[in-house]
A and B are shown apart, each in its own frame.
Chain A
Amino acid sequence: MIPLVGWHPHETWHWLSTSPLLGITLTLAAYAVGRWAHRRTGSPLLQPVLVAVVLVGAVLLATGIPYRDYLHGAAFIGFWLGPATVALALPLHHEWHLVRRAAVPVVAGVVAGAFVSITAAVLVTRFAGGGRTLQLTMAPKAATTPVSLALSAQIGGLPALTAVLTILAGITGAVVGPWVLDRIGIRDLRARGLALGAASHGIGTSRALHENRTEGAFSALSMGLTALATSLLVPVLLLFL
């Protein structure tokens, strides 16, 4: 006699832990909690991305699910970063009348910012005792994730660690970026947006978009141009650093 019902916890867990369904559900649920916490407290520290990364990371570590298996599903979410980058043309289009008139400060600011970001990333990492691989891993971190990742692979860094550093730079900008800009007295909305986009790419831009429409548009512009400037400057600067 073959029993009709059984008890298969191991098979079920194996299916669950490797199924795309888990990665997607877990990510969306953690993000929903992050949104809720952010709205509930209004605290800039509780950025949804930060809350979600901590929650998902804790679940994976507690259950022993490898990051690789989590990505089976989560990769479907990460994929939308590309189309979302394209979507950043929308705030640019809305503020085009301002963008067009600010071409010189925009280009000068972004090039100066990318130059300083890359140079300081390599030199400070070195002086604090980091080896060459670590310096190369740090160098492209100001560019948005898909770009910093590709650059890191190209110059011999650790791409996945670069992605993590990039996201940490983004979260830092979302949490304390506007506060720092207040402290040093930068009130021009265009300058604030450009600074946030240059140092903290898409995550800084999401904060800027929530602060002000003009600030968001300039942050989006800055993120795109910084990705471009970083891809061009990193290979050149590394010849001297």
Chain B
Amino acid sequence: MSDLPVLKGVLVLLGCQLLGEVIVRLLGLEVPGPVVGMVVFLVVLRVSRPRPSSSLVRGPALLLNHLQLLFVPAGVGVIVYLDELRADALPLAAGLWVSWLLGLVVTGAVVASLARIGRK
């Protein structure tokens, strides 16, 4: 195992996603497969309690470290829509940033106030 520090961890991630994707399809759930896979992997971690040097930690840590890389291909899709973005610049910019800001502020404020009440 010491020769393959990352491989086993990545294999477990793929297995959890596979299980998640199969579960949502079998049961016709409206939930994305990878999110169910995340729950499956959480159960694996809670049960096995791997050490920090374990492949179960190092494989996922490698992917999380480079999370931003994985969004690049879809983000480059912006070049296909340059004309649409220019033509509808105002509704797109306003819709995107106003709703982004409200989502951020409301979530933060609700959690902060409830957490404060919880502590009293």
Contacts and interface: CB of A to CB of B under 8 A. Distances in A.
B37 A105 contact: no
A204 B64 CA distance: 12
Contacts of B98: 120, 124
Nearest to B33: A82
Interface stretch (A1-9, A11-19, A83-91): A83-91
B63 A57 contact: no
B107 A113 contact: yes
Contact of B74 (A30, A78, A109, A228): A78
B96 interface: yes
B55 interface: no
Give the dominant DSSP class at A's interface.
helix
Given A167-B71, A206-B67, A138 B92 contact: yes
Interface residues of B, number: 71
Given A84-B63, A164-B78, A191-B115, A125 B38 contact: no
Contacts, number: 310
B115 A102 contact: yes
B104 A190 contact: no
A125 B95 contact: yes
B94 to A, nearest CB: 4
A86 B78 CA distance: 26
Given A86-B16, A128-B91, A192 B99 contact: no
28 contacts: A52-B68, A57-B78, A74-B73, A83-B14, A86-B40, A87-B41, A88-B38, A89-B39, A89-B60, A90-B61, A104-B114, A109-B110, A118-B99, A119-B99, A121-B96, A124-B98, A124-B99, A128-B95, A129-B88, A138-B99, A147-B35, A160-B80, A163-B74, A172-B97, A180-B104, A188-B111, A194-B107, A232-B30
Interface of A: 23, 27-28, 30-31, 34, 47-49, 52-53, 56-57, 60-61, 67, 70-71, 74-75, 77-78, 80-93, 96, 102, 104-106, 108-110, 112-114, 116-122, 124-130, 134-135, 138, 141-142, 145-147, 149-150, 160-161, 163-174, 177, 180-181, 184, 186, 188, 190-192, 194-196, 198-200, 202-203, 205-206, 209, 222, 224, 227-228, 231-232
